[in-house]
């Protein structure tokens, strides 16, 4: 269901996937999965903040902010995601995900939000391990 409404895009090494301070049409409220290759996440000072490898999900916090209307789609994204090598990304538009959740009769919405929550918890644990060298 979700994969039928997603878009695959290929990037070469060094290509920007997410730009800092990008506008909404530049995927700021989309989630994506790294299907092939890897990416690096950098802050506005070009400092490495993390990396993404297959099959990593990214953009879940912006999606949840948008989904629950916490910020009316005005996220000021200061991070940049850059392909480290030839990379394939599968994009999932927030409006399509929201529509699938809202018209859901199969339990997809609950399972999807649980999945997104699980990703966020795992990512938070990774950050804590890095922060405290555990």
pLDDT digits (tens, 9 = 90+) for 56-92: 778 777 667 666 655 554 455 677 889 999 999 988 8
132: Cβ–Cβ under 8 A, 6 or more apart, which residues? none
Residue 24 — pLDDT band, cuts 50, 70, 90? very low
- Please, what's the b/e burial string for 35-71 (b: 16 or more CB within 10 A of its CB; e: otherwise)? bbbbbebbeeeeeeebebeeebbbbbebbbbbbeeee
* SS3 state at 13: coil
- What would the pLDDT profile of 25-67 be if each residue is shown by its tens digit? 555 567 888 999 999 988 888 888 888 888 877 877 766 766 6
Instruction: Write down all domains in the chain, each with its CATH number in brackets.
Output: 3-132 (2.60.120.10)
CA-to-CA distance for 108 and 31, rounded, in angstroms? 16
């Amino acid at each position: 269901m979700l994969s039928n409404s997603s878009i695959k895009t290929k990037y070469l090494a060094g290509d920007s996937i997410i730009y800092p301070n990008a506008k909404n049409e530049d995927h700021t409220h989309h989630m994506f999965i790294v299907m092939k290759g890897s990416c690096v996440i950098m802050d506005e000072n070009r400092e490495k903040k993390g990396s993404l490898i297959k099959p990593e999900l990214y953009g879940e916090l912006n999606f949840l902010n948008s989904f629950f209307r916490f910020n009316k789609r005005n996220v000021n994204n200061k991070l940049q995601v850059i392909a480290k090598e030839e990379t394939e990304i599968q994009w999932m538009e927030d409006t399509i995900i929201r529509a699938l959740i809202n018209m859901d009769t199969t339990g997809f919405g609950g399972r999807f939000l649980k999945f997104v929550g699980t990703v966020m918890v795992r990512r938070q644990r990774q950050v804590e391990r890095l922060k405290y060298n555990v």
